Chains A and B, each alone.
Chain A
């Protein structure tokens, strides 16, 4: 019953988002082009890197293309569902619009996290899938049904890890009010998510594997597709850390929202 109610609310939010996007059609298409250009940029970088070397660790050129594709896919789907909502949170706090959302008879975190859907990101996710398909073709991969399911599942976990981490950063705005800089700082983490894990070692690798698992988020799914899984420990770790970060972010959200004092008007 409750689930049905939330589904109805979510459907209404979708309808709003479609209406909003379609009222600025030109802009909608331009944003898709912007994202596409940045994706192309990353692929250019891969091409240039592999004009200098045959492999990065054990990652070959088309495996890295697959990785960049997977990373972009995860980032785009994340962006479609959560990005604008996470970055918008500090503005809600600053202007006091949070009042209105707190008063609604739904779970506040639900409504804060799902208010807007970025439809253009789905189009870009589709481009990412095309690039992955092409890379898989070049690699001569024939992933089994199990691999594809595993890939999809791990992508979902990855998306939720990005969401948990960024939501924590956004919730800092309850303390500092101006947290937008911090939230955009998270973009730097997307940058390392598309790097092959073998390029790193030492404390940096440990930190971004075990603490902030961005190095796992796209590497593990890409490895599953590319028959490169070294040990099952990597995806078990990804699942476990996904759970841990979800719990931490919920705890931090509850702690933060208690500090909300509204904006004096």
Chain B
């Protein structure tokens, strides 16, 4: 276990060397976020405080996008998938086949340290941003929501990581995988609720989406916080999320073992 803590330490150091990069990234990301908030404020403004078609109050809608930013800081995969693909392509993984270090957990440690570094750099500007919009602050729907939200956040991070890891395994077979990553990302962007709360979708579409892993990559923890997933829905959703995490983990392992077979076939 100790060796993995060591990896986290090293990862944290190397990530913090790019702290300026993280900071500019966070600051730049406020521009489209602010634009989105303005758009919805305009819409609610012209509809006298409540858009007719949905159950979101203006504050909930505004705060939704802020929570998207928060969940993103805590869970989004940054460049891990590119780095894993590069490791495979350039043969850096050979050493892990010999060392008593599991590549998946090694990468997971780096992912964690990347998140930690990002949180450290983003927490202050993001806090200030949310403070500026404190008029729209929404408290957790219930005590349960407050407790379960971090748990679901953790599952989201795991799911994000395992899916990205599995995707990066494509590098065993393909030279150029960025297009596939972007295609998946496009679907994720829409179906995980990045662009708008999924509840705004027509009900049948929304229910179909709940059978895919996408909502559990972002929408689900937010809906716990907001209280849209409560009672039985909350627990069954959490079970589904855990199920997807387990599946994604097994899939990542499977892709790795298939890939390594192919990799050793290259020799060298």
Contact = CB atoms under 8 A, between A and B. Distances in A.
B179 A30 contact: yes
Given A48-B200, A185-B25, A200 B43 contact: no
B35 A34 contact: no
Contacts of A189: 31
A199 interface: yes
A44 B176 contact: no
Contacts of B35: 191-192, 195, 199-200, 204
Q: Which 10 A-B pairs have the closest CB atoms?
A: A185-B28, A30-B179, A191-B32, A37-B186, A181-B21, A192-B35, A199-B39, A52-B51, A199-B42, A34-B182
Contacts of B179: 27, 30-31, 33-34
A264 interface: no
Contact of B196 (A24, A37, A49, A188): A49
Contacts of B186: 34, 37-38, 41
Contacts of A38: 186
A56 interface: yes
A182 interface: yes
A181 B200 contact: no
Given A181-B21, A191-B31, A53 B51 contact: yes
Contacts of A56: 39, 42-43, 46
Given A185-B28, A188-B28, A49 B43 contact: yes
Interface residues of A, number: 34
A144 interface: no
Given A27-B179, A33-B183, A199-B35, A188 B29 contact: yes
Given A24-B176, A45-B196, A192-B32, A37 B183 contact: yes
B267 interface: no
A119 B25 CA distance: 29
Nearest to B190: A41
Interface of A: 24, 27, 30-31, 33-34, 37-38, 41, 44-45, 48-49, 51-53, 55-57, 178, 181-182, 185, 188-189, 191-192, 195-196, 198-201, 204
Contacts of A200: 35, 38, 42
19 contacts: A27-B176, A30-B179, A34-B186, A37-B187, A41-B190, A44-B190, A44-B195, A48-B195, A48-B196, A48-B201, A52-B52, A56-B46, A57-B42, A57-B46, A181-B21, A182-B24, A185-B25, A199-B38, A199-B42
A213 to B, nearest CB: 14
A101 to B, nearest CB: 26
Given A41-B190, A188-B32, A53 B47 contact: yes
B139 interface: no
A146 to B, nearest CB: 31
Interface residues of B, number: 33
B34 interface: yes
Interface in B63-83: none
Contacts of B52: 52-53
Given A52-B54, A53-B53, A188-B28, 10 more contacts: A52-B43, A56-B43, A57-B46, A178-B21, A182-B24, A195-B38, A196-B39, A199-B35, A200-B35, A204-B38
Nearest to B197: A48
A49 B56 CA distance: 13
Given A24-B176, A41-B190, A52-B51, A198 B28 contact: no
Contacts of A49: 39, 43, 196
A51 B31 contact: no
A53 B183 CA distance: 30
B183 A34 contact: yes
A189 B27 CA distance: 12
B40 to A, nearest CB: 9
A53 B54 CA distance: 10
Interface string B152-192: 00000000000000000000000010011011001101100
A49 B41 CA distance: 12
A31 to B, nearest CB: 6
Interface in B208-245: none
A45 B183 CA distance: 17
Contacts of A178: 21
Contact of A181 (B25, B182, B190, B201): B25
Nearest to B43: A53
Nearest to B189: A41
